[in-house]
Amino acid sequence: MMLKIAKLEIELFGSVGIHNEVHIYYKFKNISNIIFGCESDLIIYEIYLGLIFFYKFFKSKTRPLRESSPSLIITAIMSKAPALAKFNKLLDDIARIYTTARQAQVRFAWELGRRVVEVEQDGDVHAAYGSKLIPKISKELTKKFGQGFSPESLRKMRQFYTLNPIQPAPAKLDWTDYVELLPIKDKQTRTRLEQRAVKEDLNTREIRRIVQKINKTPAAKSAKALAPLKRPMDLKLNTFARSKLTAKIDKDFVLIDCGFFVNWPVKKESLTDLVISDTPSYTYAATIDRIVDGDTLIVLVEVGFGIIMHDKLRLRGIDCPELGTPEGEKAKRYVTSLLPVGSAIVLKSHKTRTDTHGRFVADVFFKVNQNNNDEIIQSGVYLNQHLLDQSLAVRMKE
């Protein structure tokens, strides 16, 4: 072991010089496996930082490094390395066990569903049990193995097989997630949502909410009962209110409410240059950063005083189809074509109104190839209503 440490000393402190930290780190990384028997970047980097710390400490004290100093440092740090390596291996082992168990549960559901379908197609069995086959299986399995084999659970396993008759690849979702996907009849839509759930690491509750939204009946009748979407008329940029918050600020300043939860101290003598109102317009110039879906935008909002907020907006009063459905993808593509990254818009937010996901509810206006805010306000397209007119969204309760 001491020979290995001596070799490390030569590599680190001899060939490149300890002043060159970048070269040292990569040399240290290359030979670390010789000493520590692992290739964990975390362990390597922590040991490296320890070495650099001690070197700089000794250097700051103007003490020359003794020949044995690196060996002592490395030996001290190495005493903890095996424990950390074993802990990381434990985590890796648990992750593998969990993944294997999850895949086994999905495979079990598929196999059980397959066997039920095969037996149902057997004339003799069908004649003997008919519609009572699944309740009978449930009773016997519950007696033998306990809970988890209710008739409802068995029917879901049977449905899982009928929707996926080809033996599935190793599962990427939990069985409970696949259960939430069962109500989606369209295979293409179901596959898209499954891929999205994997990509975005959606939990079971989030998948259920999306499925409910996809499967809900288009509310044509209820939409007619809702009042038409009104285009806001009081669109005025740079209007403010006195903040209702109490803050410790200089007596010569006043706290101003800019909207978007921004409160800014302004000199009292400057108030005459501002439009201060008890009912400000909360209208802002903004720039498109990204289109999330048909009715959700991420924007850079100019709230005043040179402050720019990066926030997510939900279009007021409308609801576009969920991503993962052909209709939802179409709505997103359409809005993206209208408002590419960097497009100028004007928005009116509703100060105290955010949706269940914390997004500001807003009315959005734009004019293709137009960056002049006054022009957008005067003759721009009202995006919320435009999506309704294009049948890419439905009116929703506010």
Phi-psi region of 268 (alpha: psi -120 to 50; beta: other; left: phi over 0): alpha
Residue 39 pLDDT > 70: no
The confidence band for 81, taking pLDDT boundaries of 50, 70 and 90, is: low
Residue 356 pLDDT > 70: no
Work out the average pLDDT over 175-204.
87
Question: How far apart are alpha carbons 173 and 194 in whole angstroms?
Answer: 8
Collapsing DSSP to helix, strand or coil, 364 comes out as: strand
pLDDT of residue 292: 93
Q: Please spell the DSSP secondary structure of 217-273, one letter per residue.
A: PP-HHHHHHSPPPPPP----BSEEEE--------TTEEEEEEETTEEEEEEGGGGGG
pTM for this model (two decimals)? 0.51
pLDDT of residue 201: 86
**Average predicted confidence (pLDDT) for the chain:** 78
Work out the average pLDDT over 91-119.
83
Work out the average pLDDT over 201-206.
88
Most trustworthy range by pLDDT among 21-25, 33-37, 46-50, 325-329: 325-329
Contact at 8 Å (CB) between 48 and 64?
A: no
Q: pLDDT: is 82 or 253 the higher one?
A: 253
Give 293-352 pLDDT, tens digit per residue. Answer: 999 999 999 999 999 999 999 999 999 988 878 888 999 999 999 999 999 999 999 755
pLDDT of residue 291: 96
Question: How far apart are alpha carbons 330 and 335 in whole angstroms?
Answer: 9
CATH number for the domain formed by residue range(s) 225-236+282-398: 2.40.50.90
pLDDT of residue 53: 54
Assigned token pair, 218? 């288009």
Assigned token pair, 344? 């100028």
Work out the average pLDDT over 201-213.
87
Residue 52 pLDDT > 90: no
pLDDT of residue 254: 93
Contact at 8 Å (CB) between 310 and 382?
A: no
pLDDT of residue 101: 78
The confidence band for 61, taking pLDDT boundaries of 50, 70 and 90, is: very low
Work out the average pLDDT over 227-248.
89
Work out the average pLDDT over 71-98.
68
pLDDT of residue 60: 53
Q: pLDDT: is 61 or 277 the higher one?
A: 277
Residue 8 pLDDT > 70: no
The confidence band for 129, taking pLDDT boundaries of 50, 70 and 90, is: low
Q: For the ranges 64-68, 206-210, 307-311, which has the lowest average pLDDT?
A: 64-68
Closest CA to 229 of 70, 64, 394, 77: 394
The confidence band for 229, taking pLDDT boundaries of 50, 70 and 90, is: confident
Print burial letters for 222-260: b (CB count within 10 Å at least 16), e (below 16).
eeeeeeebeebeebeebbbbbbeeeeeeeeeebebbbbb
Give 139-165 pLDDT, tens digit per residue. Answer: 999 988 888 889 999 999 988 888 888
pLDDT of residue 256: 94
The confidence band for 205, taking pLDDT boundaries of 50, 70 and 90, is: confident
Residue 386 pLDDT > 60: yes
pLDDT of residue 275: 93
The residue extents of the domains of the chain are 2-79, 172-216, 225-236+282-398, 238-280
Residues 6+ positions from 370 with CB-CB distance below 8 Å = 344, 376, 380
In this prediction, what percent of the chain has a pLDDT beyond 90?
Answer: 31
